[in-house]
Chains A and B, each alone.
Chain A
Amino acid sequence: MNETPKILISNLNLSIDKQDILKNINVKIPENKITVLLGPSGCGKTTLLKTLNRLTDLYENVKINGSIILDNEDILHTKSDITKIRQKMGLLSQRPYPLPMSIYGNVSYGLKIKGVKKKKMLDEKVEHYLKAVNLWEEVRERLHHPASALSIGQQQRLCLARGLAVDPEIILADEPTSALDPLSSQSIEEMFTILKKDYTLVVVTHILRQAKRIADYVVFMYLGEVVEQGPADEFFSSPKMDRTKAYLKGAFN
């Protein structure tokens, strides 16, 4: 992979309460591809994801060093507004967290914060992004109903639409299908493969089959370290490290 990466993580170390969570992480996340952070539970993949948009700011006693370069800017040491950087990255959590407002309110929330006021503009965007996540037909009659009334699968798609509406360049997804039924999971996966045309996706998962289905680039993590990374076909067909081989055989989860 010789092209310039979208995100370049170098020598990243992170500890909480003096306990090392991430150890010397060096990862290149390619643009307009799905990068999968793969590994067993507790290997630090979610923490790595949250470091990318500095949600780790919310942790207590956290120590980070190293650098994460996005668009020639070190996210970890930047002086520019962190909310602006966060807007470049949409987040999809393990389970949907819709905002306590209407369906319409959820999608337009980020736009309103960015200063879009015109009703017509908001209407158009809401429709556009709800269509982008295949939710429009299901909710067009009840846009102003509470988002809480939607099913979990619909809520997760709403959260994706809400994230896309802010016009990010990157989508961060933290085990986005773990709370969903198989059908909703499938639709999220399909959407990801369509979205990668316009966005760079970073998806955390511990489901090997899911990684095989969607990944273009795989970063395999174990106990806070990156064991192996590479393009998906290479990674799955000819893994180099013993630990990777063992994991792919299902030796540990």
Chain B
Amino acid sequence: MPDMIKKAEEIFFRILMIISTVAIAAALLLILFSILYKGLPSLSWEMISQTPKGGFYFGKEGGILNAIIGSLYLSICSTILALIIGLPVAMYMNVFLIRHKKSLNLIRFFLDILWGIPSIVYGAFGFVIMIYFGLKTSLLAGIITVTLFIIPIMVRSMDEVIKTVPSGLLESALSLGSTKTEISYKVFLRQCIPGIVTAILLSFGRAIGDAASVLFTTGYTDSIPESLSDPAATLPLAIFFQLGSPIEEVRQRAFASAAILTFIILLISIVARLLSTKFNRNKIKF
């Protein structure tokens, strides 16, 4: 009899797992399908090659080039800045602070809290900084805010990967006479490239997809930003404004904008994956 129960339990949980997995895959497909279904009719060359005509609530004509360019500027710059700041932090934690478990746990705890803070709070914080320094709503203010917002994501996801490097590799590299800095950038970085690429993608995805942090800081405009001090449009806000429009055609264009945003993320993911497999072959499996 206990065998029967065990078997039933096994079948029950297996079915549960299959259902959950299928549900998640189905959700992704459903989102993609509905975006494409509703967005494709409005998706045109005009949409991605022109700036809007007629304002963001009423613009039926032109395109969202302003938001595409604005979003790319914003997210690429923020991701690069966050990488420049974040990678040394993650390396410092795992190569230099390795024998200071208490400090390490404290840093991880702080970063996790920062990760958990909603982006609208970062937006408000960025706004305070802007007022303090007398900055106007601009691309620069947006980049600073979004960088602050994605640094914890960047650092913690890199940290989780670098953490898995066995201490034997560190000991071996030290025994060869390398300094800890050399180990960070010549050994650990190579070993962790695929994971670091994932961390960068995750951060980029958050940067390009977030609306709340740029609402007060980057502002919105119909034109393409020409300098860091210009305000800039972003895709999430474009979607937000278009969806809020009273005009049916404009609302439909929101889905086209969403499709473009999704497509950009997809494209960057694929390119980054291809690049990282090139380095992946050197990774040692422990």
B residues contacting the other copy or chain, number (CB 8 A): 29
Quick check: A110 and B177 within 8 Å, CB to CB?
Answer: yes
Using a CB–CB cutoff of 8 Å, the interface residues on chain B facing chain A are 98-101, 166-179, 182, 186-187, 190-191, 281-286
Q: Is the CB of A102 within 8 A of B282?
A: yes
Identity of the chain B residue whose Cβ is nearest the Cβ of A114 in the assembled complex: B177
List chain A residues, Cβ under 8 A from B190: 99-101
What would 14 more interface pairs be, CB under 8 Å, given A53-B175, A100-B190, A110-B177?
A55-B171, A59-B99, A60-B101, A83-B177, A83-B178, A83-B179, A90-B175, A91-B175, A97-B166, A97-B172, A99-B173, A100-B284, A101-B282, A148-B281
Q: Which of chain B's residues has its CB closest to A102's CB?
A: B282
- Complex A-B, nearest 4 residue pairs according to Cβ-Cβ distance, in ascending order: A87-B177, A91-B175, A100-B191, A100-B190
Say yes or no: is A40 at the interface (Cβ < 8 Å to chain B): no
A76-99 CB mask vs B (1 if < 8 Å, else 0) is 000000011011011101110111
Check: A45 CB closer than 8 A to any chain B CB: no
Q: What are 20 inter-chain pairs, A to B, with CB distance below 8 A?
A: A58-B99, A60-B100, A83-B178, A86-B174, A89-B175, A90-B175, A91-B171, A93-B171, A93-B172, A99-B187, A100-B282, A100-B283, A100-B284, A101-B282, A109-B186, A113-B176, A146-B281, A146-B282, A147-B284, A166-B176
**Residues on the A chain within 8 Å of B168, using CB:** 93-95, 97
Q: Chain A residues near B170 (CB, 8 Å)?
A: 58
Closest residue of B by beta carbon distance from A91: B175
A57 interfacial contact with B, CB 8 Å:
yes
Interface residues of A (CB under 8 A from B): 50, 53, 55, 57-60, 62, 83-84, 86-87, 89-91, 93-95, 97-102, 109-110, 113-114, 146-148, 159, 162-163, 166, 172
- CB B187 to nearest CB in A, in angstroms, measures 6
Instruction: Return chain A residues, CB-CB under 8 Å to B174.
Output: 53, 55, 58, 83, 86
Cβ-defined contact, A148 with B283, below 8 A: yes
Chain B: CB-nearest residue to A61: B99
CB-based nearest B residue for A62: B99
Q: Which of B99, B186, B282 meets A60, CB within 8 Å? A: B99
On chain A, the residues within 8 Å of B171 by CB distance are 50, 55, 58, 91, 93, 97
Is the CB–CB distance between A58 and B98 below 8 Å?
yes
